[in-house]
Each structure stands twice: as structure tokens, then as C-alpha cells.
């Protein structure tokens, strides 16, 4: 039994050992086969290396012979020319020095027996020079010595040309970036990488290291009022709604100030229509924007200027006019475009205007006063200034014509002349009378004629009063208008003021043979009684002065309850008294209705000589009434007479009157 068990155990042992022995046998056979294959591959490589070495050696020999032949030809050229310039010699030497190391590179071999030759130029048999890249594997003997090489040559001329073109392009790009005043940017939309040039950063006041190349550095500095539409402009270009991106907007500088830039860019799309890149440039246009703003303000000022401004071309035709200029001439601005300027000048002054234009060409600027003709044919006086106009290239393109309507100034000058004439007459006449009367009295001739002496004294007194009145009128108008006269306001009765005024002028009316009818009204006024009486007496004196004998003058008044009388009287929230002085005189022309209330204004300057007066009475009346919150105006018909109206507010109580006046 034990033997059986022993046999069984031995059988099992060999059964387990047999697979191991078989495995070892298979492994040994595999190793033998693998070694055999390695030996065969090594033999094949050696054969290839031998063939490659022979081929490489032939190539090198050919190249060396080519170089030697080239050097020989170069030496012969130098000898034939009797010498070669140093620069040319150095250029030839550098070319060969750059090419020859490519052959020396095969002496360098690393532990893997792999060699890379340098890139060098290769001259073919036909003389064409190409760029090649050489590589080789070295063969070593049992002692580790290199006994040969196997390698290849690759034509890389196209790559070299592309690299050269790329390098030139890059150099041009860098030169353009450094030399340009514009900021350059390049945005890789897919990766969100952005490039900003140094100039881009300088424009914002940053050094290169102070700002990063990120999209946020651009967007975060856009003015809040501009950010939305700028981003919309980018989106529109990405959507191909616009051929390129262009926008003028404000960006914040390092110091917090804002600058204006013109930003331009162009995007690139892939085949699927997705934006992959956009590049562009920024230009600082702050100076231009300031100039545009100044020009805009200037244009607005010219448009709203009260003086007429126009521009003429070299043919003296209108090319620009502002509204004030056109309005003075009675035209619309567009109606004057292309019209000859001389058509707006009075025919009598056109020759004068042409002479002045010639003077402007010689002296750049002239000034003249001529008559102008409106569209409706009416004439007015104008002051004209002509200034030569030039374009941006300083070429003469015409002139600017500045015009001012001086009709009012001429009228004032005329009135002043008339006033001087009136005043000189008013002064000369009484002074002459006073002087003559006093001379007679002083000579003693009238000592025996008391009645004549008394008459001379009366003449002197009357003329003295006349002089005092003239001086007082002049002083009154100046003081009232300048506010130097204090109105002594108090409660007074209109009935009393009208009655006293009629009594003052009654003697004058009797002498003129004029009947004076007064219809007073009882009402309280808050006024300066002396000044209101002055108004009454002025109006009544004028009415008497210009009324024929045996005519009648009416002085009346009525209370107006929020009623509008005539064009000049406005609606009032408090009741007024409307006073009227009506005469049967010669009347006033329509064009003189407003003139008579001006200083020195008279219907006819000769009236001062024939009727007396200074032409200041009505101007004084208007000033007094304006200080009482009243108004004055006139209605007149030639040959029938005139009616002067003026208003004063009623005072229901003293305090109410004060409030109304204030």
C-alpha cells in the first residue's frame, strides 16, 4: 500500500515538472532564433551602411570638387580684375564659410550612432543653388571606430524660401509696429489670447509691464456710455453685417482721463463660418475730436450770431450764409446759394464794393459801409468786413463777408445831429435875447423908459426859464433812465392831478386859442404826484402846440376792469385808470408812431424851431410811467388828430398799491 502511494506521488511529481521542462526548451529555441535574426539584421544594416557610405563619400567628393572649382574660378576672377574689393571678398568668404561646416558635421556622432548634418546650400551640376538637409547613421567596427556612414539629403529649398519670406514679413511687421503712431492689437477669438503693441499701451499711459495682454484690459476701459454700442459693432462685424469693424469711442487712461480713439479691425472666419481671429489698430483722435467740438461750437455760434456772416467763392457768389445774414436781406439761406453778391448791393454802391474787393485781395482785410438791397427791394445801410479765405492747402478760395445792419445807428446819428441842431438853436436863441436885454438895461438907455425896461426883464426871464427847462429835460431823461431819480410814491387822487395839470397849461391854451375840456375821475393812485403832473403837462403842451386855433383838446379818464385797450395795453389782474389826451391837430405818420417816444424823436426836426421843444418830452413821459407800472401809446390819423393813452394802476389801499407797484 505504501509502495503504491509512493509511486502515485512520484507520478504526480513528474507530471508537475514536465511542463516546466517543456517551457524551458521552447524558450531556448526562441532565443536561438532571435539571435539568428539579429545577426541577419545587423549584416543587412552593415551592407546598407557600406552602400550609403560609398554614396555619401561620392557626394562629398563632388561637393568638394565643386567648391574647389568655384574657389579656383573666384581666384581667377580676382587675378583677372587685378584685385577684388574687400567687401566683395568678405561676402564670398562668408558664403563658403556658412556652407562648408555642413560637411564637417559628420565628425560629430553621439552614442546612438545618429548624426544630423547642418542645413546648407547645395550647388547642382547645372549651377542652381538649393538648400538641403543632411542626416546619416555612422558604422563602427569592433573597436568602436567609425568606418562609414549611411545618410540622406533632403531638398528644403521651398521651406527655406518660406522661412525667409516669413522672417522678412515678421521684420516688416515689427518695424511697422514700432514706427507706427497707432496701437496694434491681435485677438485670437478661439483661445481669447490678445496681443497689444507697446504703442497701444503707451496711448493709455502704461508701460509695457504695467498692463497685461487680456481682453478685459480693453473692454474695462471703454467709457460706460460707449461700451454697449461698441460691443454691438463688434457683434455686427462677426455676423458679417459690416465689411469691417470701425468705431470712434472713449477709453480711460491710467490717470483717469478719457481719450478718443478710432478703432478699426478685420475678422477671419473658418470654413464653418466661425470667427477665429480679428486684428486691427487704434488711432488717437482726441485732437481731432476737440477740433470738431470747437468747430461745432463755432458753427452753432455762427448760426445763432446776430450779425450776418457769409462766404463767397472766387466768382463772388454765395456758398454759405448764416440765418442772420439771410434774414437781414429778406431771403431764406438756400435762396442765396449761388447768387452773385452784387445783386444784394445797391446799384449806386456796386462800383464802390468792387473797388473794396480789389483792396481786400491786396491787403487780406477791408471794411466799408454801403447800401444793401433786400429781396422786397427796400434799402438799408450796412457795414461790411471782407476777409480772404483759404483752404487747407493755403489756396485762395474766396472771402468771408461779415455784415451788420447799421440803419438804426445811422438813424441815431441823424437824431443826434438834429438834437444838436435843436439844442444849439434852443440855447442860442434865448441866450441872444437874454444878452440883448441885459445889454440894454446895463447901458442905461432904458432908465427913462420903465415900461420898456420891464419888458426887457420879462424877455430875459422867459428865455432863462426856457434854458432851464431844456437843461432840466436833458437831466431828467438821463436820471430817470439810470435810476438815479427816486420816485416819491404816495396816495393821491386822479381828480386832483388832472385838475392841477389843466390849470398849469390853461394860460398856454388861452394864448394859442385852444379850448381845453377836462373830464376827471375820482380814484386813488399810488404815485409820485409831481411826476404824474409832469406827464399830463407834457402831453397837454404837445397837444396845444400842434393844434390849430379854435380847436378843442380833451383830457379824460376811465376805470378799466381787466380790459384790453389797444395793442399796447396788456391784460391786468388789477383795475387800471386809462387816461386820454385827444387833440384835433395834424396827426402823426405811421412810421413815426414809435419814433416819437425815443430820445430826440420828433415828427419833424423843424418843429423844434417853429414850435419849440427838445424832442425829449415823450421819452420822459414813458420813463416816468414805466416806473409806475404803467404804459403809454398813441393812435393817430393824419389830418384828423392824435390821441395819447396811458395807464396807471388803481390803489384800493396804500398797502395794495405798494404791492402792485413792486
Q: Which residue has the higher pLDDT, 224 or 109?
A: 224
- pLDDT of 615 reads 64
The percent of residues above 90 in pLDDT, for the chain, comes to 24
Q: Which residue has the higher pLDDT, 12 or 155?
A: 155
Find all residues with CB under 8 Å of 94, minimum gap 6, and list them. Answer: none
- pLDDT of 162 reads 74
Q: What is the residue-averaged pLDDT of the chain?
A: 76
**Grid cell for residue 656:** 395794495
- pLDDT of 442 reads 74
CA torsion 14-15-21-27 (nearest 10°) is -170
Pairing outcome for strands 641-649 and 576-582 = antiparallel
- pLDDT of 236 reads 93
What digits encode the pLDDT tens for the residues 35-55? 776 677 667 666 666 666 666
Q: Report the Cα–Cα distance between both ends of the chain, in Å, rounded.
A: 153
Q: Which residue has the higher pLDDT, 312 or 102?
A: 312
The candidate with the shortest Cα–Cα distance to 262, out of 239, 244, 242, 235, is 244
- Phi/psi for 301 (5° steps) reads -65, -40
Quick check: 438 and 460 in contact, CB under 8 A? yes
How many separate helices (H) and strands (E) can be counted in the chain?
18, 20
- pLDDT of 259 reads 93
Query: How far apart are alpha carbons 540 and 309 in whole angstroms?
Result: 48
352-371: average pLDDT: 91
- pLDDT of 316 reads 92
**Grid cell for residue 139:** 558604422
Place of cell 466768382: 315
- pLDDT of 231 reads 93
The candidate with the shortest Cα–Cα distance to 263, out of 184, 337, 201, is 184
What digits encode the pLDDT tens for the residues 264-313? 999 999 888 899 999 888 999 988 888 778 766 666 656 555 578 888 99
Quick check: 542 and 611 in contact, CB under 8 A? no
What digits encode the pLDDT tens for the residues 610-648? 455 556 778 888 888 888 889 999 999 888 899 999 999
Residue 28 scores a pLDDT above 50 = yes
- pLDDT of 343 reads 92
Strand 245-252's sheet: what is its strand order? 193-196, 183-188, 275-284, 258-269, 245-252
Residue 661 scores a pLDDT above 70 = no
What helix, strand, coil percent values describe the chain, rounded to 5? 50, 25, 25
Residue 248 scores a pLDDT above 90 = yes
Query: How far apart are alpha carbons 107 and 647 in whole angstroms?
Result: 125
- pLDDT of 493 reads 92
Q: Which residue has the higher pLDDT, 484 or 103?
A: 484
- pLDDT of 79 reads 57
b (16+ CB within 10 A) / e for 521-542: eebbbbbbbebbbbbbbbbbbb
Query: How far apart are alpha carbons 146 and 138 in whole angstroms?
Result: 6
- pLDDT of 655 reads 40
Helix (H) or strand (E) holding 61: helix 2-81
- pLDDT of 557 reads 93
Strand 129-140's sheet: what is its strand order? 114-123, 129-140, 146-155
Query: How far apart are alpha carbons 592 and 196 in whole angstroms?
Result: 76
What digits encode the pLDDT tens for the residues 111-141? 444 444 556 676 777 777 788 776 666 667 7
Q: Which residue has the higher pLDDT, 307 or 200?
A: 200
Pairing outcome for strands 275-284 and 258-269 = antiparallel
Query: Please, what is the Cα angle at 466 between 476 and 499, to 5 degrees?
Result: 70
Quick check: 158 and 132 in contact, CB under 8 A? no
Three-state SS at 489: coil
436-444: average pLDDT: 73
Three-state SS at 376: coil
Pairing outcome for strands 552-560 and 515-519 = parallel
Residue 7 scores a pLDDT above 50 = no
The candidate with the shortest Cα–Cα distance to 197, out of 174, 167, 219, 216, is 174
The candidate with the shortest Cα–Cα distance to 609, out of 564, 545, 555, is 545
Residue 2 scores a pLDDT above 50 = no
The DSSP call for residue 351 is H
- Considering 154-158, 169-173, 466-470, 604-608, the range whose residues carry the highest mean pLDDT is 154-158
- pLDDT of 55 reads 62
| Region of poorest pLDDT, from 73-87, 323-337, 571-585 | 73-87
The candidate with the shortest Cα–Cα distance to 419, out of 602, 623, 620, is 602
- pLDDT of 17 reads 65
Pairing outcome for strands 396-405 and 379-390 = antiparallel
**Grid cell for residue 389:** 479765405
The percent of residues above 70 in pLDDT, for the chain, comes to 64
CA torsion 106-111-112-114 (nearest 10°) is -10
**Grid cell for residue 154:** 533632403
Cβ-based neighbour number of residue 321 at 10 Å: 27
Query: How far apart are alpha carbons 421 and 413 in whole angstroms?
Result: 12
**Grid cell for residue 345:** 448791393
- Considering 114-123, 226-235, 285-294, 437-446, the range whose residues carry the highest mean pLDDT is 226-235
The candidate with the shortest Cα–Cα distance to 160, out of 127, 208, 210, 121, is 121
b (16+ CB within 10 A) / e for 184-198: bbebebeeeebebbe
Q: Which residue has the higher pLDDT, 565 or 634?
A: 634
- pLDDT of 176 reads 59
pTM score above 0.85: no
The candidate with the shortest Cα–Cα distance to 328, out of 381, 267, 265, is 381
163-179: average pLDDT: 64
- pLDDT of 3 reads 44
What digits encode the pLDDT tens for the residues 486-523? 678 889 999 999 999 999 889 889 888 999 999 999 99
- pLDDT of 568 reads 45
**pLDDT grade for 531, boundaries at 50, 70 and 90:** confident
Residue 212 scores a pLDDT above 80 = yes
C-alpha torsion sign, points 90, 93, 99, 103: negative
Amino acid at each position: 500500500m505504501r509502495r503504491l502511494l509512493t509511486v502515485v506521488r512520484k507520478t504526480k511529481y513528474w507530471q508537475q515538472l514536465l511542463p516546466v521542462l517543456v517551457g524551458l526548451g521552447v524558450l531556448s529555441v526562441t532565443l536561438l532564433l532571435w539571435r539568428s535574426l539579429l545577426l541577419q539584421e545587423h549584416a543587412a544594416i552593415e551592407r546598407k551602411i557600406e552602400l550609403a557610405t560609398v554614396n555619401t563619400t561620392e557626394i562629398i567628393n563632388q561637393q568638394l570638387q565643386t567648391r574647389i572649382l568655384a574657389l579656383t574660378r573666384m581666384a581667377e576672377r580676382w587675378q583677372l580684375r587685378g584685385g577684388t574689393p574687400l567687401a566683395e571678398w568678405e561676402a564670398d568668404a562668408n558664403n563658403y564659410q556658412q556652407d562648408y561646416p555642413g560637411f564637417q558635421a559628420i565628425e560629430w556622432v553621439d552614442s546612438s550612432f545618429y548624426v544630423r548634418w547642418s542645413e546648407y546650400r547645395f550647388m547642382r551640376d547645372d549651377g542652381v543653388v538649393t538648400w538641403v538637409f543632411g542626416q546619416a547613421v555612422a558604422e563602427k567596427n569592433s573597436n568602436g571606430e567609425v568606418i562609414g556612414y549611411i545618410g540622406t539629403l533632403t531638398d528644403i529649398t521651398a521651406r527655406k524660401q518660406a522661412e525667409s519670406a516669413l522672417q522678412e514679413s515678421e521684420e516688416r511687421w515689427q518695424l511697422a509696429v514700432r514706427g507706427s503712431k497707432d496701437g496694434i492689437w491681435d485677438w485670437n477669438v478661439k483661445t481669447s489670447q490678445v496681443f497689444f503693441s507697446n504703442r497701444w499701451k503707451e496711448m493709455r499711459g502704461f508701460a509695457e509691464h504695467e498692463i497685461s495682454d487680456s481682453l478685459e484690459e480693453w473692454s474695462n476701459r471703454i467709457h460706460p456710455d460707449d461700451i454697449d454700442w461698441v460691443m454691438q459693432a463688434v457683434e455686427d462685424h462677426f455676423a458679417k453685417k459690416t465689411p469691417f469693424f470701425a468705431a470712434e469711442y472713449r477709453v480711460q487712461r491710467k490717470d483717469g482721463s478719457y481719450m478718443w480713439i478710432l478703432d478699426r479691425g478685420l475678422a477671419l472666419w473658418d470654413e464653418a463660418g466661425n470667427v477665429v481671429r480679428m486684428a486691427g489698430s487704434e488711432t488717437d483722435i482726441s485732437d481731432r475730436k476737440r477740433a470738431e467740438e470747437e468747430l461745432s461750437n463755432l458753427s452753432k455760434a455762427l448760426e445763432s450770431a446776430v450779425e450776418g456772416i457769409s462766404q463767397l467763392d472766387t466768382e463772388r457768389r454765395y456758398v454759405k450764409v448764416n440765418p442772420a445774414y439771410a434774414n437781414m436781406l429778406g431771403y431764406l439761406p438756400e435762396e442765396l446759394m449761388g447768387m452773385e453778391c452784387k445783386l444784394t448791393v445797391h446799384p449806386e454802391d456796386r462800383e464802390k464794393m468792387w473797388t473794396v474787393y480789389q483792396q481786400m485781395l491786396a491787403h487780406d482785410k477791408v471794411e466799408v459801409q454801403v447800401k444793401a438791397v433786400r429781396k422786397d427791394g427796400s434799402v438799408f445801410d450796412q457795414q461790411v468786413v471782407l476777409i480772404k479765405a483759404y483752404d487747407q492747402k493755403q489756396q485762395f478760395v474766396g472771402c468771408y463777408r461779415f455784415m451788420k445792419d447799421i440803419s438804426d445807428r445811422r438813424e441815431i446819428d441823424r437824431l443826434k445831429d438834429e438834437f444838436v441842431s435843436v439844442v444849439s438853436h434852443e440855447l442860442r436863441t434865448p441866450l441872444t435875447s437874454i444878452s440883448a436885454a441885459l445889454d440894454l438895461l446895463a447901458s442905461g438907455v432904458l432908465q427913462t423908459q420903465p415900461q420898456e425896461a420891464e419888458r426887457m426883464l420879462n424877455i430875459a426871464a422867459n428865455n432863462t426859464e426856457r434854458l432851464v427847462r431844456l437843461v432840466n429835460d436833458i437831466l431828467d431823461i438821463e436820471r430817470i433812465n439810470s435810476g438815479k431819480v427816486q420816485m416819491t410814491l404816495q396816495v393821491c387822487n386822479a381828480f386832483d392831478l388832472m385838475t392841477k395839470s389843466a390849470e398849469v397849461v390853461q394860460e398856454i391854451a388861452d394864448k394859442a386859442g385852444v379850448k381845453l375840456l377836462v373830464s376827471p375821475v375820482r380814484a386813488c393812485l399810488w404815485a409820485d404826484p409831481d411826476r404824474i403832473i409832469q406827464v399830463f403837462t407834457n402831453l397837454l403842451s404837445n397837444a396845444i402846440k400842434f393844434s390849430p386855433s379854435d380847436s378843442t383838446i380833451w383830457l379824460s379818464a376811465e376805470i378799466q376792469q381787466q380790459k384790453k385797450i389797444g395793442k399796447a395795453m396788456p391784460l391786468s389782474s388789477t383795475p387800471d385808470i386809462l387816461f386820454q389826451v385827444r387833440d384835433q391837430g395834424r396827426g402823426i405818420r405811421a412810421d413815426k408812431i414809435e419814433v416819437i417816444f425815443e430820445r430826440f424823436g420828433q415828427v419833424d426836426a423843424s418843429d423844434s424851431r417853429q414850435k419849440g421843444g427838445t424832442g425829449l418830452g415823450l421819452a420822459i413821459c414813458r420813463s416816468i410811467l414805466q416806473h409806475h407800472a404803467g404804459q403809454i401809446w398813441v393812435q393817430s390819423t393824419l389830418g384828423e388828430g392824435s390821441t395819447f393813452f396811458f395807464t396807471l394802476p388803481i390803489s384800493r389801499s396804500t398797502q395794495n398799491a405798494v404791492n402792485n407797484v413792486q
